Amino acid sequence: MIPAPDLNLSVLLPIILVAIGSMTILMGEVLLSRADTVLGREVTESFIGTVLAGTAIFFFALTLWASGVAFAGGGVQVFNPDNPMYQLDPFSSFVTAVLALSALLSCALSITYLSELRINHGEYYALIMLSASGMMLMVAAVDLIAVFLGLELMSIPIYVLAGFDRRKLRSNESALKYFLIGSFASAILLYGMALLYGVSGGTSFEALRAGFDADNPMALVGLGLVVVGFAFKISMVPFHQWTPDVYEGAPSAVTAYMSVTVKVAAFATLIRLLAMAFGPLEASLETIFWVLSALTIVVGNIMAIIQENVKRMLAYSSIAHAGYLMIGLVTGTIEGYSAMIFYLIAYTFMNLGAFGVVVALANRGNDCERIASFAGLARTRPGLAAVMALFMLSLAGIPGTAGFMGKFKIFMAAVNSGDIWLLIIGVLMSVVSVYYYLRIPVLMYMREPEDESHRTEIASGEGAVLVVCALAVLALGLFPNRVPTLLFGDLDVLDWANRSVGMFFGG
Amino acid sequence: MGEFDQHLLTIITFFPLVTALGLMATSILAKLLGADGLPASLWKPIALASSILTFLLSLRLFAVFDPLETGFQLVEHAPWIPEYGIQYFVGIDGISLLMVLLTTFLMPIILLASWNDISKSLRNYLFFMLSLETGMLGAFVSLNLFQFYVFWEAMLVPMYFIIGVWGGPRRVYAAVKFFLFTMVGSLLMLLAMLVLYYLNFDQTGVLNFDLVAPPGGEMGGLLQTVVPVDGIWWKTQTWLFAAFALAFAIKVPMFPLHTWLPDAHVEAPTSGSVVLAGVLLKMGTYGFLRFAIPLFPSAAVEFTPLMMTLSVIGIVYGSLVAMVQSDIKKLVAYSSVAHLGFVMLGIFALNVHGLTGGVLQMVNHGLSTGALFILVGMLYERRHTRQIADFGGEARPMPVFAACFGVVTMSSIGLPMLNGFVGEFLILVGTFLAAPIFAIIATSGVVLAAAYMLWMFRRVMFGPVDNPENRGLIDLGLREKVVMLSLLIPIIWIGVYPNPLLRRIEPSVIELIRQLEVRRGVVEVETEVAPEVDSEAAPEAEAEPEAKTETAKPDAPDSALPDEAEERL
C-alpha cells in the first residue's frame, strides 16, 4: 500500500479560502436566480450587489489576513515534501496578500459599475475569485507544471471577464482576442517548459537549476520560449499588441482588476523563476531583458502619446510601466527584485485608482472613455478630478507619490548595478510620459466642461476604493518605511519588500 | 538657542502648507456635512495673514542667524527613510538665509498684488500659492539631496497649475512646456545624484544623502565624497556636473535653454510671473552654488569658460531681444534672461566679489523684476493690454505709478544708490579679476539694459496722451501703494546700505571658496583657519562697495583663484 503523503494543507490556506469563496458565490447565484421570479429582478440585483460582492470581499479579506499572518511568521513550508510543488514562503505570502488586497478593492469598485452597465451577474465575483486563486497558486508554485496550472486558472476566468459585457461587440472582440493570443502564449510557454524538462530531466525549480547547461542550445530555446510566454502576460514589447484592444474592450472594472493583478502575479512568478530556477543563465538573460526592457519603455511611452481613449492610454502606460519593472529583472540583484515588488505595490494603487475614476464616471451603460470627456471635470466633479490628478502625477513619477518612490528604487538598483544607458533611456522616456499623463489634468483643470453626461453621484464602494488608493499613493510616496494606518500601527512596506525577496538570497 | 528657534526652519517651511491644508480641510469637511464652508472672501485674508506671519518668522530667523559663524546654522536632523540615508535635514548659511527671506518677503506682496486678479476658483489658487511657498522654502533649506529633489520637483506641480489654470490664452502650452523642460533636467540630475550616492557608499560604506555631516555625526556628508576626474565616464566629475548643471541651467535659465521662460512669463498671471522671476529662477542659481559647484569642483572649473560664455551670450542676447519686444511683459521676461546671465557670470567668476555679487544680485533681481511684473500687472488690470504702442503719457494720469515705475526701472538698470548697482558692480569686479574679456562684454549688457528699459519707460510714461483710453486711468489705490512701498523700501535700502546682507553672504561665500580649494586639493585642509576668516572678513565687509574695488583693483586682472582667496584671508 502506498503510504498517504504527508500533506501540509496550511500551505494552501489562502488559495483554499479564495476557492471556497468562489464556490459559495456560485451557489448563491444559483439560489438567487431561482428566487428571481418570486422576488423580482430589482431585489435580486441588490442581493448580488450586497451579499455576493460582500462575500467576495469577506473572503479576500480573510485571505489577506491569512497570508499576512503567514508572512509575519516567516519560514518556508512545502505542500507535499515528497514532491514539492507549492511552497509557502515570505515571498508567496507577501505577493498573495498584495493580490488579495487588489482583488478586494476591485470587487468593491465593481458593485455600482456592474449595475450601471446592466451586467450585474453573480458569476462576476466568482470568476474574479477563481482567477485570483490561480494567481495565488502561480506565485506559490515551485514547479513548472504548477506554474502552468496556476497560469491557466488565472487566465481562463479573465478571458470570460473581458467579454462580460456580452451585448457589446467590443467586449466580445476583446475576449476573443485575449483568448486566442493567450492560448498561443500558453502553448508557447508549455513548449518551452517541455524543452526545459528535456534538458534537466525534471520540472521542479530545483531540478531545473541543477540540470541546466548554459551551453546547451535546447536549454536556451526552452528558456526563451518560457520568457516569451510570460512576456505576453505582462505585455512586454513586442508581445504587447493585444493589450490596448483588450483593455479598451473589457468593462472598465475588469480592466482595473486585470491590469493590476495579472501584472503582479506574472512579475512575481518571473522573479521566482529567475531567482530559483534560472540562476545559472543569468548572464544570457540579462542581455535579453535589457533589450526588451528598453523596447517596452520606448514603445509604451511613445504610443501612449497619441491615444484618444483613456483606457488605451492607460494600457500603453501599463506597458511602459512593465518596461520600468523589467529594469529590476535586468539587475538581478536583491535590490532590483525588492524594488520591483515595491513598484508593483505602488502600481497597484495608482493604476487601480486611475481606472477607479474611469469606473466612477461610467453612466447608464456607457463607459467614460474619451480623454476629451475629462474636460472641465474639476468644475463638475472636483473630488474625482483631484484624485485623478494625483494618480496621474503618481504614474508620471512626481516626488511625494508612490510612483516616484517605485521609480526611485528601481533607478537606485540599476545605478548600483551599472546599467546607466538603460536608465538614461528610462529617464528620458519618463519625460515623455509626463506629457501624456499631464493631458488629463490639463483637460480637467484648464478646459471648460463639455456637454457630457457623467454620473453625478459616486457610490460608497467606489468612493472608499478611491480614498484608500489616494491615501496609499501619498503615504507610500512620503513615508514608505512607516505607512500610517489607524488600526495596525505604522507599516514598513520597504522592509516587507526586502524581506519578501530576501529568501532568494539566503536572507 | 531656545526650543522654538531650534525648529524655526521647519516651522517657517511648513507653515504655509499647513495653512493651505487646513483651509482645504475645512472646505472638504463642510462639503461632507453639507454646509457652505468658509466663504472664499475669508480665504484671502487668512492666506495673506499666514504668509505675513511666515515673513515675520523669517525675520526672527534673520535675527537669530549668526553672520560670523561659517557652516550651516539652525540645523535640524531627523530620520525620514534612514534605510537609504534619506533624512529630514534642514539648515541655512548666509546664501540660503537670503533666499528664504526673499521668498517669504515676496509671498505676501504677491498675494496682496493679485488681490483682485483671481476670480476663478480662488480657493484652489490660494491653496497652490501657499503650497508653492512651502515647496520653494523647502528646496532652499534642504541639506539632504533626496529631500532637496523632492521639494524641487514637487514645486513644479503648483506652479504648473498656476500657469495653466489662471494664465493667459496660451497658458496650457506654456504650462506644459515649463513642466517638461524642468523634468528633462531634473530626471538626469536624479540619476547623477544616485551615482554620487553610490560613489559615497563605496568610499564610506554608509548609504547617505546628507550633503554635510549632520550634527554629532562622525561620517562626512556627500561633500566629502571623492569624485574621480577620469575613469568610467558616468562616474566622472565632468558628466555628473553636466547632469546637475543641465537641471539648474534650465531653471536659471541659461542661453540656449531659456525658451520656456518667455512663454511661461507671458502666459502666467501676474502673481505667477512674480514667483517665477522672483524665486523660482533663483532655484537654478542656488542649485549651482549649493550643489553643482561644491560637489564637483574640478568639473566646475573645467566648465567655467563654457558657463561664462553662455552667461555673456545670455546677457547680450537677452538684452537685444528685449529691445525689440512690443509687449512689456515679454520685455521684462527677456530682461530676466540677461539679469540671470549676470548672476551666473558672477557665480562662475568663482571669487569672493563675483560670488557675493551673484548672491546679492539674486535678491536684487527678485525685488526689481518682481516689482516690474507687478507694475505691468497693474497696467494690464487697467487697460487689458500690454503692448507698448498702446500706451503713452501715462505719467500724466498716474503720477504715483509713474514714479514707482521709474524707481524700479532705474534699479533694474543698475543705477547707483539703488539695489541693482551693488550687485552688478560686484559681479563685474569679480568677473574682471577672473576673466576680463567677459567683464568687458558683460558691461555692454549694462548699457543695453539702460537702452531697452529707458526706451520702454519713455514710450509708456511720457509723450502726449494720444490714446483716449489712457486718459481716464486711475492712479494707484491704497492697496497698490502698500505693495509698491514695501518693494521700494528694500530696493533703496540695499542700494544705500547693503552691508547687513553682504555681511551675511561673505562668510558663506568664503567658506564655499575654501571648500572648493580643499576639494580640488589646491589648499591643504586647515581647519584652524576657518573661524579667523569670518572675524576678519566681517569688518571688511562693512566697507562701502567703492572701497572694496580699490582694494581689489591693484590685483593683477588675471589673478588666479587661490591668490584671490588668500588675499581675502
CA distance A397 to chain B (A): 10
pLDDT at B499 over 50: yes
A420 → closest Cβ in B157, B176, B234:
B234
Quickly state the pLDDT bin for B566 (edges 50, 70, 90): very low
Contact B183 A442 (CB under 8 A): no
What's the DSSP call for residue A370?
A: B
Q: Please tell me which residue, A503 or A469, carries the higher pLDDT value.
A: A469
CA distance A380 to chain B (A): 12
Find chain B residues with C-beta within 8 A of A434's C-beta.
Answer: 179-180, 183
As given in the structure block, the three cell numbers for residue A495 are 522592509
Q: Which residue of B has its CA nearest to A447?
A: B165
What's residue A373's pLDDT? 85
Contact A435 B176 (CB under 8 A): yes
Task: Report, as an integer, the average pLDDT of A432-461.
Answer: 84
Query: Cα dist. A69→A60, A90, A497, B172 in Å?
Result: 14, 10, 16, 50
pLDDT at B526 over 60: no
Return the beta strands (E) in A374-506 as ranges. Answer: 483-485, 489-491
Task: Report, as an integer, the average pLDDT of B323-331.
Answer: 89
What's residue A4's pLDDT? 67
What's residue A314's pLDDT? 94
Find chain B residues with C-beta within 8 A of A424's C-beta.
Answer: 188, 191
Q: Identify from A442, A447, A467 which residue to disrupt to test chain B contact, counting B C-beta atoms within 10 A and taking the largest count.
A: A442
Query: Does the residue B153 lie in any domain?
Result: no
B411-435 pLDDT, tens digit per residue, is 988 888 888 888 899 999 999 988 8
Find chain A residues with C-beta within 8 A of B164's C-beta.
Answer: 442, 445-446
A411 → closest Cβ in B124, B175, B191:
B191
Helix axes A334-361, A493-502, angle to 10 degrees: 130
Query: Does the residue B172 lie in any domain?
Result: no
CB B125 within 8 A of CB B161: no
Task: Report, as an integer, the average pLDDT of B514-523.
Answer: 77
Q: Which residues pair with B327 in a beta bridge?
A: B387
pLDDT above 70: percentage of residues in chain A: 97
Quickly state the pLDDT bin for B544 (edges 50, 70, 90): very low
Quickly state the pLDDT bin for B221 (edges 50, 70, 90): confident
Domain boundaries, chain A: 9-505
What's residue B464's pLDDT? 80
Q: Which residue of B has its CA nearest to A412?
A: B194
Amino acid at position B53, single letter: L
What's residue A467's pLDDT? 93
B171 → closest Cβ in A435, A446, A494:
A446
> What's the domain count of chain B?
1
Instruction: Give the alpha-carbon dihedral of A150, A156, A157, A161, to 10 degrees.
Output: 140
Contact A423 B187 (CB under 8 A): no
Quickly state the pLDDT bin for B244 (edges 50, 70, 90): very high
pLDDT at B17 over 90: yes
Number of H helices, E strands in chain A: 20, 4
pLDDT at A313 over 90: yes
Find chain B residues with C-beta within 8 A of A446's C-beta.
Answer: 164-165, 171-172, 175
What's residue A459's pLDDT? 83
Task: Report, as an integer, the average pLDDT of B521-549.
Answer: 44
Contact A431 B234 (CB under 8 A): no
Task: Report, as an integer, the average pLDDT of B335-350.
Answer: 91
Q: Which residue of A has its CA nearest to B195?
A: A415
CA distance B115 to chain A (A): 21
Q: Which residue of B has its CA nearest to A379?
A: B121
Contact A411 B121 (CB under 8 A): no
Instruction: Determine which of A257-271, A471-485, B35-49, B492-506 has the lowest per-residue pLDDT on average.
Output: B35-49
Find chain A residues with C-beta within 8 A of B198's C-beta.
Answer: 415-416
Task: Report, as an integer, the average pLDDT of A216-234.
Answer: 88
Contact A393 B157 (CB under 8 A): yes
CA distance A119 to chain B (A): 31
Instruction: Look at residues A177, A185, A184, A146 and name the one whose alpha carbon lies nearest to residue A159.
Output: A177
Query: Cα dist. B250→B164, B175, B279 in Å?
Result: 20, 15, 14
String of DSSP letters for A469-493: HHHHHHHHHH-TTSEEETTTEEE-H
B164 → closest Cβ in A398, A431, A445:
A445
What's the DSSP call for residue B386?
A: -
What's residue B33's pLDDT? 83
A86-102 pLDDT, tens digit per residue, is 888 899 999 999 999 99
Task: Report, as an integer, the average pLDDT of B443-472.
Answer: 84
B154 → closest Cβ in A399, A412, A424:
A399
Instruction: Look at residues A461, A462, A488, A490 and name the one whose alpha carbon lies nearest to residue A475.
Output: A490
Q: Could you give the 3-state DSSP secondary structure of residue B86? A: strand
A23-71 pLDDT, tens digit per residue, is 999 888 888 777 777 777 777 777 777 888 899 999 999 999 999 888 8
Q: Please tell me which residue, B221 or B173, carries the higher pLDDT value.
A: B173
In angstroms, the CA A383 to CA A378 distance is: 8
Task: Report, as an integer, the average pLDDT of A218-230.
Answer: 89
Q: Identify from A301, A377, A408, A491 which residue to disrupt to test chain B contact, counting B C-beta atoms within 10 A and taking the largest count.
A: A408
Count the neighbouring beta carbons within 10 Å of the beta carbon of residue B3. Answer: 7
Find chain A residues with C-beta within 8 A of B80's C-beta.
Answer: 479
String of DSSP letters for B232-294: SGGGSHHHHHHHHHHHHHHHTTPTTSTTHHHHHHHHS-HHHHHHIIIIIHHHHHHHIIIIIHH
In angstroms, the CA B120 to CA A97 distance is: 45
CA distance B545 to chain A (A): 43
Quickly state the pLDDT bin for B533 (edges 50, 70, 90): very low
Helices (H), A117-168: 123-140, 144-162
As given in the structure block, the three cell numbers for residue A186 are 500558453
**If you count residue pairs, one on A and one on B, with CB atoms under 8 Å apart, how many are there?**
75
Average pLDDT, chain A: 88
Instruction: Look at residues A218, A147, A138 and name the one whose alpha carbon lies nearest to residue A189.
Output: A147
String of DSSP letters for B319-378: HHHHHT-SBHHHHHHHHHHHHHHHHHHHHHH-SHHHHHHHHHHHHHHHHHHHHHHHHHHH
Contact B191 A480 (CB under 8 A): no
Residue found under cell 457623467: A454
In angstroms, the CA A22 to CA B525 distance is: 72
What's residue A2's pLDDT? 65
Number of Cα atoms under 13 Å in the Cβ half of residue B496: 6
Find chain A residues with C-beta within 8 A of B195's C-beta.
Answer: 415, 420
Find chain B residues with C-beta within 8 A of A408's C-beta.
Answer: 190
pLDDT at B465 over 50: yes
Amino acid at position B234, single letter: W
CB A376 within 8 A of CB A444: yes
Q: Please tell me which residue, A172 or A82, carries the higher pLDDT value.
A: A172
Average pLDDT, chain B: 84
- B interface with A, Cβ–Cβ < 8 A, is 80-84, 121, 124, 149-150, 153-154, 156-157, 160-161, 164-165, 171-172, 175-176, 179-180, 183-184, 187-188, 190-191, 194-195, 197-198, 234
In angstroms, the CA B1 to CA B23 distance is: 32
In angstroms, the CA A29 to CA A24 distance is: 9
What's residue B203's pLDDT? 85
Q: Which of A179-183, A446-450, B205-209, B267-271 has the highest mean pLDDT?
A: A179-183
pLDDT at A127 over 60: yes
CA–CA–CA angle B161, B405, B389 (5° rounding):
80
pLDDT at B538 over 70: no
What are the two backbone dihedrals, phi and then psi, of residue B558, each rounded to the nearest 5 degrees? -100, 25
Query: Does the residue B405 lie in any domain?
Result: yes
Contact A398 B187 (CB under 8 A): no
Query: Cα dist. A280→A141, A201, A219, B271 in Å?
Result: 20, 16, 11, 61
- A interface with B, Cβ–Cβ < 8 A, is 378, 393, 398-400, 404, 408, 411-412, 415-416, 420, 423-424, 427-428, 430-431, 434-435, 438, 441-442, 445-446, 479-481, 494-495
pLDDT at B535 over 50: no
Helices (H), B7-65: 8-33, 40-64
Residues 6+ apart with CB under 8 A from A439: A371
Find chain A residues with C-beta within 8 A of B190's C-beta.
Answer: 408, 411, 427
B288-298 pLDDT, tens digit per residue, is 999 999 899 88
Amino acid at position B103, single letter: T
Quickly state the pLDDT bin for B476 (edges 50, 70, 90): confident
Q: Could you give the 3-state DSSP secondary structure of residue B135? A: helix
Contact B81 A481 (CB under 8 A): yes
Find chain B residues with C-beta within 8 A of A399's C-beta.
Answer: 149-150, 153-154
Query: Does the residue B191 lie in any domain?
Result: no
Domain range for B347 is 298-569
What's residue B218's pLDDT? 66
CB B227 within 8 A of CB B296: yes
Quickly state the pLDDT bin for A280 (edges 50, 70, 90): low
Residue found under cell 563605496: B202
Find chain A residues with C-beta within 8 A of B160's C-beta.
Answer: 438
Contact A442 B172 (CB under 8 A): yes
A336-364 pLDDT, tens digit per residue, is 999 999 999 999 999 999 999 999 888 77
What's the DSSP call for residue A347?
A: H
A257-270 pLDDT, tens digit per residue, is 999 999 999 999 99
Q: Identify from B28, B120, B187, B267 which residue to disrupt to test chain A contact, counting A C-beta atoms within 10 A and taking the largest count.
A: B187
User: A483-485 and A87-88 as β-strands: parallel, antiparallel, unpaired?
Assistant: unpaired
Find chain A residues with C-beta within 8 A of B161's C-beta.
Answer: 441, 445
CA distance B257 to chain A (A): 16
CB A286 within 8 A of CB A330: yes
Contact A495 B198 (CB under 8 A): no
What's residue B561's pLDDT? 41
B254-308 pLDDT, tens digit per residue, is 888 888 998 888 888 888 899 998 899 999 999 999 999 989 988 888 899 999 9
What's residue A1's pLDDT? 59
Query: Does the residue B385 lie in any domain?
Result: yes
Quickly state the pLDDT bin for B193 (edges 50, 70, 90): very high
